[in-house]
Amino acid sequence: MTQALPEPGRMLKTLRLAREWSLSQTAAQTGVSKAMLGQIERGESSPTVATLWKIATGFNVPFSLFITAEASNAEILRSEETRRWQQQNSAMQISSLFPFDPQLGFDMLVVELAAGALSESSAHDSGVIEHVVVIAGELQLAIGEQWHTLKAGEGLRFQADVSHSYRNSSTQSVRFHSLIHYPGGKANR
């Protein structure tokens, strides 16, 4: 049975109220302005991928929580159950291949980065590990200050509790899988 996809604003408000955070506290925790958070909650603004990452990181929840319906362990995720998240004219698109599984403690995303694009990610919580595997194209990945070049079929596992960046210096888009593993098999939900 197909479930309704969550709306980012509704999910944001649910998380904020569950923690009893004001918009000011949420802004301080996520690095997203109070005004922008209010606009997202009211459905007046569609957040960019970068903004959703900041919100997910600030709440220590998986990114897929904002873009997928929950699925049981036996379900096959069908296209109507997965949302490709992109901002109009955005250089990055993300869809969830497997949404966060609390038993296994990971989120698996498919990311497409446009030609010439750069996406910077703030540090995740302590102990978070990310696995990046390039499917097509060539990706430059910075972990802290050190850059790595990954070609199709190559991957890199790293501690994601430091700032990291994804860059596509080519003239073609690059697609990669990002598996994010949360310490202790859980992300706070």
User: Which CATH number belongs to the domain containing residue 53 in this structure?
Assistant: 1.10.260.40
The parent domain of residue 29 ranges over 8-65
Q: Which residues pair with 95 in a beta bridge?
A: 84, 110
| 3-state secondary structure at position 156 | strand
Q: 113, exposed or middle or buried, with CB in 10 Å at 0-12, 13-18, 19+? A: buried
How many other CB atoms sit within 10 Å of the CB of residue 184? 7
Would you state the pLDDT for residue 80?
38
Q: Compute CA 96 distance to the chain's CA centroid, rounded to the nearest angstrom.
A: 9
CB–CB of 63/98 below 8 Å? no
Distance CA 126, CA 117 (A): 27
For residue 173, give the CATH number of its domain.
2.60.120.10
| Residue 184 neighbours by CB under 8 Å, 6+ apart | 105, 127
- Same domain for 106 and 156? yes
For residue 162, CA distances in Å to 27, 75, 92, 96 come to 20, 34, 20, 23
How many other CB atoms sit within 10 Å of the CB of residue 106? 21
Would you state the pLDDT for residue 146?
96
- Same domain for 168 and 106? yes
Distance CA 81, CA 64 (A): 12
Would you state the pLDDT for residue 129?
94
Q: How many domains does the chain have?
A: 2
* Domain-embedded: residue 2: no
- Same domain for 105 and 55? no
Give the mean pLDDT per block of 10 residues along the chain (189 residues). 58 90 93 92 83 84 73 42 48 84 86 92 87 97 96 96 93 95 64
